A = this chain, B = another copy of it.
């Protein structure tokens, strides 16, 4: 177990996990963060369980070399495919974004009809329905893969007729079913939250797993007496960012999401962490 003043490791297939990092910065502002975005191999959503697990394991090895005290899997696909296996291999706490999102959806639905949107991998894994039904077996959960949302977000079409049109198609069957809760099961989706909210209507509660995950992380750190108890300052290596490709481009995107000013992002060869088991 690492020291309580060690950083928290956060990783994602690319930039989407920054919405989770942002929530951690908001909710537990005294914590240090080491973020890794696998920008060389993004996206994970269309890849196999085996490949996503192998990539995630390499990233966990890398974060361990940074002496992190806990790891947040800030990617729904990696949480769905790799978390169960990898958390057994490490001696620090790991939390994903799926369970916290599933929990709040299961607890807050009134009519028992929950929709989940995500990548092909996340939806195909059926992980959200499984977790939700463990908590509340009476609800019905319908998943819908939305593979175009991520490229639309990355192209910057956050408020756009095309994004509206695609969202209407993807969400039609969930609206028809009469869901009252929609889980944004991919870390890119909070960035088109207002579009999604408008299309499903204000009666549908949108669940943002990024928010719930940061809350769960805080609870965990409190319960385990692992909160950072030194005063940390911005600029003092408080937030460090690593990527597998395109550090400058990442920095630009990250600065548009996170208000603190990302001082640097460094490119590393992530596959070199393969053998370090």
Contact = CB atoms under 8 A, between A and B. Distances in A.
For the complex formed by this chain, how many copies does it contain in all?
Answer: 2
A147 interface: yes
Nearest to A163: B162
Interface residues on A, range: 20 to 34
A48 B245 contact: yes
Interface stretch (A64-72, A150-158, A215-223): A150-158
Contacts of A47: 39-40, 245-246
A91 interface: no
Interface of A: 39-41, 46-48, 50-51, 147-148, 150-152, 154-155, 161-162, 165-166, 244-246, 249, 271, 274
A155 B119 CA distance: 12
Given A147-B155, A148-B151, A165-B165, 18 more contacts: A40-B47, A40-B51, A41-B41, A46-B154, A46-B249, A47-B245, A48-B246, A51-B244, A51-B245, A147-B151, A147-B154, A148-B152, A148-B155, A150-B151, A151-B151, A161-B165, A162-B162, A271-B271
